[in-house]
Amino acid sequence: MDNTTLEELKERLLSLKQEIITRIKDNTEKINHIQIKGDEGDFSNAVYSRSIIYDLIEKDRRHLKEIEESLYDIERGLYGKCHKCGKDIEIERMKAKPTAKYCIKCRSVIEANKG
Protein backbone atom coordinates (compact mmCIF):
# COMPACT_ATOMS: atom_id res chain seq x y z
CA MET A 1 0.00 0.00 0.00
CA ASP A 2 1.43 3.36 -0.97
CA ASN A 3 1.85 6.16 1.60
CA THR A 4 -0.86 8.35 0.08
CA THR A 5 -3.46 5.59 0.36
CA LEU A 6 -2.28 4.74 3.87
CA GLU A 7 -2.63 8.37 4.97
CA GLU A 8 -6.10 8.61 3.41
CA LEU A 9 -7.23 5.49 5.24
CA LYS A 10 -5.67 6.68 8.49
CA GLU A 11 -7.53 10.00 8.22
CA ARG A 12 -10.73 8.11 7.51
CA LEU A 13 -10.19 5.94 10.58
CA LEU A 14 -9.53 8.99 12.75
CA SER A 15 -12.67 10.67 11.41
CA LEU A 16 -14.75 7.55 12.06
CA LYS A 17 -13.28 7.33 15.55
CA GLN A 18 -14.38 10.88 16.34
CA GLU A 19 -17.87 10.28 14.91
CA ILE A 20 -18.31 7.18 17.04
CA ILE A 21 -17.03 8.86 20.21
CA THR A 22 -19.51 11.70 19.65
CA ARG A 23 -22.35 9.25 18.98
CA ILE A 24 -21.55 7.28 22.16
CA LYS A 25 -21.62 10.51 24.20
CA ASP A 26 -24.90 11.59 22.60
CA ASN A 27 -26.54 8.22 23.19
CA THR A 28 -25.32 8.14 26.79
CA GLU A 29 -26.97 11.53 27.33
CA LYS A 30 -30.18 10.22 25.76
CA ILE A 31 -30.21 7.33 28.22
CA ASN A 32 -29.76 9.72 31.12
CA HIS A 33 -32.76 11.77 29.97
CA ILE A 34 -35.19 8.88 29.55
CA GLN A 35 -37.63 9.09 32.44
CA ILE A 36 -38.59 5.80 34.02
CA LYS A 37 -41.80 6.80 35.70
CA GLY A 38 -45.49 6.83 34.99
CA ASP A 39 -47.73 3.88 34.36
CA GLU A 40 -46.73 0.41 33.21
CA GLY A 41 -46.79 1.41 29.54
CA ASP A 42 -44.51 4.40 30.14
CA PHE A 43 -42.16 2.20 32.14
CA SER A 44 -42.08 -0.46 29.41
CA ASN A 45 -41.41 2.12 26.71
CA ALA A 46 -38.61 3.70 28.74
CA VAL A 47 -36.97 0.34 29.42
CA TYR A 48 -37.30 -0.64 25.75
CA SER A 49 -35.83 2.68 24.59
CA ARG A 50 -32.91 2.35 26.97
CA SER A 51 -32.29 -1.21 25.81
CA ILE A 52 -32.12 -0.14 22.17
CA ILE A 53 -29.75 2.72 22.97
CA TYR A 54 -27.53 0.44 25.08
CA ASP A 55 -27.33 -1.95 22.12
CA LEU A 56 -26.32 0.94 19.83
CA ILE A 57 -23.65 2.04 22.29
CA GLU A 58 -22.28 -1.50 22.55
CA LYS A 59 -22.16 -1.81 18.75
CA ASP A 60 -20.30 1.52 18.56
CA ARG A 61 -17.85 0.40 21.25
CA ARG A 62 -17.03 -2.75 19.27
CA HIS A 63 -16.50 -0.66 16.13
CA LEU A 64 -14.35 1.80 18.09
CA LYS A 65 -12.20 -1.11 19.28
CA GLU A 66 -11.74 -2.26 15.66
CA ILE A 67 -10.70 1.27 14.68
CA GLU A 68 -8.21 1.49 17.56
CA GLU A 69 -6.74 -1.88 16.53
CA SER A 70 -6.40 -0.66 12.93
CA LEU A 71 -4.68 2.54 14.05
CA TYR A 72 -2.32 0.45 16.18
CA ASP A 73 -1.60 -1.77 13.16
CA ILE A 74 -0.69 1.39 11.21
CA GLU A 75 1.82 2.35 13.91
CA ARG A 76 3.35 -1.14 13.82
CA GLY A 77 3.47 -1.26 10.01
CA LEU A 78 0.99 -4.17 9.88
CA TYR A 79 -2.04 -2.33 8.53
CA GLY A 80 -3.41 -3.80 5.32
CA LYS A 81 -1.83 -7.21 5.99
CA CYS A 82 -4.10 -10.22 6.51
CA HIS A 83 -3.97 -11.38 10.13
CA LYS A 84 -4.31 -14.99 8.95
CA CYS A 85 -2.12 -15.45 5.86
CA GLY A 86 0.04 -12.30 6.06
CA LYS A 87 -0.60 -11.25 2.47
CA ASP A 88 -1.67 -7.73 1.49
CA ILE A 89 -5.39 -7.11 1.76
CA GLU A 90 -6.86 -5.78 -1.48
CA ILE A 91 -6.90 -1.96 -1.59
CA GLU A 92 -10.55 -1.96 -2.70
CA ARG A 93 -11.44 -3.98 0.41
CA MET A 94 -9.49 -1.64 2.68
CA LYS A 95 -11.25 1.37 1.16
CA ALA A 96 -14.65 -0.29 1.58
CA LYS A 97 -13.88 -1.51 5.11
CA PRO A 98 -10.86 0.29 6.59
CA THR A 99 -10.94 -1.96 9.67
CA ALA A 100 -10.58 -5.17 7.62
CA LYS A 101 -8.17 -7.61 9.20
CA TYR A 102 -8.41 -10.42 6.66
CA CYS A 103 -8.15 -10.74 2.91
CA ILE A 104 -11.30 -11.87 1.12
CA LYS A 105 -10.06 -15.46 0.79
CA CYS A 106 -9.26 -15.86 4.51
CA ARG A 107 -12.44 -14.05 5.53
CA SER A 108 -14.44 -16.52 3.45
CA VAL A 109 -12.73 -19.44 5.20
CA ILE A 110 -13.41 -17.91 8.63
CA GLU A 111 -17.08 -17.30 7.79
CA ALA A 112 -17.48 -20.83 6.40
CA ASN A 113 -16.10 -22.30 9.62
CA LYS A 114 -18.53 -20.26 11.73
CA GLY A 115 -21.59 -21.62 9.92
- Crossing angle of the two packed helices 3-33 and 40-76, in degrees rounded to 10: 160
The yes-or-no verdict on residue 34 having pLDDT over 90 is no
User: Mean of the pLDDT values across residues 44-60?
Assistant: 95
Confidence tier at 67 by pLDDT (50, 70, 90): very high
Domain boundaries, the chain: 3-114
Most confident of 40-44, 79-83, 110-114: 79-83
The yes-or-no verdict on residue 19 having pLDDT over 70 is yes
The yes-or-no verdict on residue 115 having pLDDT over 70 is no
Count of other CB atoms within 10 angstroms of residue 82: 19
The yes-or-no verdict on residue 37 having pLDDT over 90 is no
Count of other CB atoms within 10 angstroms of residue 78: 14
Superfamily for 3-114?
DksA, coiled-coil domain (1.20.120.910)
The yes-or-no verdict on residue 46 having pLDDT over 80 is yes
DSSP 39: S
The yes-or-no verdict on residue 15 having pLDDT over 90 is yes
The yes-or-no verdict on residue 84 having pLDDT over 70 is yes
